[in-house]
Structure 1
Amino acid sequence: MKRALLLISTALAVLVSAGCATLDAKQREWIFQPSDRSWGGASSTEGMQDVWIAFDSDSTGKAEKLHGLWLPHERADAPVMLYLHGARWNVSGSSGRIRRMQELGFSVLAIDYRGFGQSSAGLPSEATAAEDARAAWGWLAQQQPGKPRYIFGHSLGGAIAIDLARQVDDEQGTMVEGTFTSIADVVSTFKWGWLPVSGLITQRFESVRKVSQIGSPLLVVHGSEDRLILPALGRKLYEAAQEPKRFVLVEGGSHHSTNSVGQPLYREAVESLFRLSPLATGTGATTAALPR
């Protein structure tokens, strides 16, 4: 994502002369970097079940489908989580984080946005990713009725998570990791961030404006060694949110390792902020499948 955002800060002024449609499409390519590939260092998805979410898209006017991975907890009464991944890799690349969320006591549904993995083809945008998250949220409610539902987002997925949380009123809590206040703020932290390109950014992901509209508890986690999304942006996002909220800085955590390095801190924060019973934080998976 860093290389992509650096390109934005140096090339926006050139692209604007080619027209707004080209400018918007290039930003979508750079920010999402949609792929059907998994990160090479990802753990196995063994034990995770493939699920498919079909819906009619207002954005495209077509029938679309999302591919997801479902990892149930061994406890039948476990809360459920919608996992929203970041840029570049498909959902399989998040298998390690998905398992760690299960270890904290959640049954986890992780999805690919359109343009990623086996989901419908197409260049994703801020609007279509938001629509995908809403479709997955509704589908999860249908498949797991009566279960408390939580939202988790990493990096770019954190911005999508915040947008979802401020739109729905049936989430019990939201967690974001290694995320930011806005794309414009991220670009401003780079070498060429002094260039006056903010007004040309179409995919803005202005989480700092949206986060105060979340009515449920919010956990903001950041790694102290995150060089892609600086911890100061995570702190600024946290400060803009309403109570109840909590900010956790994981010492030594990078943009990619914070979730594993900070697992004990995650556990304590989840139990205290969301008032989840420590008894719900066991490990293991069941073989029961979701209906398709």
Structure 2
Amino acid sequence: MMRGISLGLVTVIAAGWVTMGLFSQFQRKMVFPGPEGVDESLLSDVATQIGATELRIPTEDGETLYGWHRAAIWSGPRRVVLYFHGNASSLVAQLELQHLLQSEGWDFVGIHYRGYPGSTGVPSEAGLHKDATAAWKWVADKLDVQPARVAIHGRSLGGGVAVQLAAAVNPGALVLESTFTSIVDLAKEHYRWLPIGRVLEHRFMTRDFAGRVSCPLLVAHGAADSIIDVHHGKELARLFHADEYMEVPRIDHNDMLLVGVIATRYLGFLESAVPSGDRGLE
């Protein structure tokens, strides 16, 4: 009887370790799946259609990032939204937001992370933070804009990228849209039966940057988010003492959040943080 129990226990333990090993092996694909049906040819075609300037941005470790710059439809003092997309998204997924920002006097700059369409390399947490730094440097150097005139906007995984950059560079504003408190917290909710904390390599501890971000902050989250539950947004707003928190009814994770009245509030927040006139340049 004891021998049967021992063999059974060994089998369970062995199966558990095999499962953990597979999870560790494939977690990069889980965290950074990339967009479906998007390649550099499509990106170039869309960029031509919408008048976006295609970017090739070098990183400090030798990778090259693909990106877009879309200039504001006006001639006032330059303001820039530097945008970081979600883990399965791309630049073509946020065209409405880009149009909105352009029409309201904002330049839009967005990149594809390393390993995503058009960009070289293999994605990792450390790599994405290098990518964000490279994008910030491009904005500062090529567009000749001061940090106070730049708003950083991160969606989903991009929020984990954006918050660390904001803590380092002190931009004019930060927007966290549908973002998690950490990948560790999120993974524990989706894989309760695994000791996630021990095997996750890409942790994106967004909540750990509370107290290190001093710029105005907007947190926005869909109330019906089935991937990153709305409690993540509420907790981030609490931890960071967000200047504004927007919870949007009936909006799931992949729904367009910043539309209608919510888009108006979003633009109002950006305007209050980085005014369209000369204020903020001094």
Same fold (TM over 0.5): yes
Query: Structure 1's 146 and 277: CA in aligned 2 closer, same or farther, altered over 3 A?
Result: closer
Q: 1:81 to 1:13 in 2, by over 3 A?
A: farther
Corresponding residue of 1:133: 132
Distance 2:16 2:129 in 1: 24
Give, in angstroms, the shift of residue 213 of structure 1: 0.7
- TM-score (ref. length: structure 2): 0.80
Give the secondary-structure state (helix, strand or coil) at the position aligned to 1:248.
strand
Residue of structure 1 equivalent to 2:26: 26
2:52 equivalent among 43, 48, 53: 48
Q: Which residue of 2 aligns with 1:235?
A: 234
d(CA) in 1 for partners of 2:70, 2:172: 19
Alignment of 1:1-292 (within 5 A): 13-17=17-21, 23=24, 25-35=25-35, 37-38=37-38, 45=47, 46-57=50-61, 63-76=62-75, 77-120=77-120, 122-147=121-146, 148-169=149-170, 171-190=171-190, 192-242=191-241, 245-256=243-254, 257-261=256-260, 262-272=262-272, 274=273, 276-277=275-276
Q: Is the 8 A contact 1:223 1:252 kept in 2?
A: yes
Structure 2: runs of 5 or more not aligned? 1-14
**How far off its partner does 1:36 sit?**
7.2
Give the superposition deviation at 1:117: 1.1
**How much does 1:269 deviate?**
2.7
Which protein has the larger Cα radius of gyration, Structure 1 or Structure 2?
2
State the Cα distance separating 1:28 from its structure 2 match. 1.6
Q: Do 1:70 and 1:109's aligned partners in 2 also have CA atoms closer than 8 Å?
A: yes
- TM-superposed CA distance for 1:278, in Å, is 9.2
The aligned counterpart of 1:283 is none
Deviation at 1:150, TM superposition (A): 1.4
Q: Give secondary structure in 2 for the equivalent of 1:56.
A: coil
The structure-2 alpha-carbon separation of the partners of 1:140 and 1:275, relative to structure 1 and needing over 3 Å to count, comes to closer
Structure richer in helix, relative to its length: 2
Segments of structure 1 that go 5 or more residues without pairing to the other structure are 1-10, 58-62, 280-292
Q: Is the CA contact 2:73–2:103 (under 8 Å) kept in the aligned structure 1?
A: no
TM-score for both structures, normalised by structure 1: 0.78
Q: Deviations over 1:28-75 (max 9, x none)?
A: 211111347439xx9x54121211112331xxxxx2211101111022
Q: 3-state DSSP class of the match of 2:163?
A: helix
1:91-118 CA-to-partner distances (Å, cap 9, x unmatched) read 2223233223334431010100111111
Amino acid at match of 2:182: S
- CA-atom RMSD, angstroms? 2.8
% identity of equivalent residues? 29
Q: Does structure 1 retain, via aligned residues, the 8 Å contact 2:101–2:108?
A: yes
